[in-house]
Structure 1
Amino acid sequence: MPGPKPGQMIEVVQFRRPLLTDDGISEVETFEDFGAAQRARKIDASDAEAWKAAEVSASISARFQFRRNEVTEAITPKDRLTCRGVEYEITGKREISDDLRFFEISTVARIDLE
């Protein structure tokens, strides 16, 4: 499968890395920006709504395709990414092209319904 064309990589994505910080009572996990913002192609995969125990929630799955570099190479499922103000959890990472210049990150984001 060929990687995305430059004109398709229109989204600006910021990766976020978990850090343990002391809040005065205990150590809590916070997320801080990691590396420079990256260009990506976003492909919406699916959306879902759930009603469980009187809670209504929704989620959206998306795939982001990136050019390989030192920042994107270091990303793991522990990290997160933000795009257009939505924070996505990373669920997977795979190579998408034969020449190894590109790869794809699978994500899911919870959208709170009000």
Structure 2
Amino acid sequence: MDRRVTLLRAGTVTDDYGDEVDGFAPLATVWASVKPSPGTERLASAENAATAPTVITIRYSRKVADLNPRDRIEYPVGSGRQFDIKSVVEIGRREGLQIAAIGRADG
């Protein structure tokens, strides 16, 4: 686990104007193993959309135990590049979490 990722929790956040809006707030920045899978490219709504399937493994903690597909991951930290979580599987008995995620390769 030699990479840093930021876990983003779905919920209500305050925008630049002070209004409450649906969005994502940082939950935790943790060490992770990030392993890209082969990407795919598809034609959607007359535009090319590339996806980057990725498997991210993190250590288990109470803070991240309820991570779910409503949440997102930012990697690299501070880049603004976000990955949608598709599934979260517990490894062993609270040893870690294996996260299947998809990020836009062209975004």
TM-score by length of 2: 0.80
Letter in 1 for 2:96: F
Q: Give the % identical residues.
A: 22
Shift of the 14–47 alpha-carbon distance from structure 1 to 2, 3 Å rule, reads same
Match of 1:5 in 2: none
Please state if 1:104 is matched with 2:98: yes
What is the aligned partner in structure 2 of residue 56 from structure 1? 48
> Whose helix proportion is higher, 1 or 2?
1
Aligned length: 102
Gap regions ≥5 residues in structure 1? 1-8
In 1, are the aligned partners of 2:56 and 2:98 still within 8 Å (CA)?
yes
Provide the aligned C-alpha RMSD in A: 2.2
Runs of 4+ in 1 over 4 A off after TM superposition: 21-24
- Which entry has the higher C-alpha Rg, 1 or 2? 1
Structure 2 unmatched ranges of 5 or more: none
Correspondences of 1:32-111 after superposition (within 5 Å)? 32-35=25-28, 37-84=29-76, 85=79, 86-97=81-92, 99-111=93-105
TM norm structure 1: 0.76
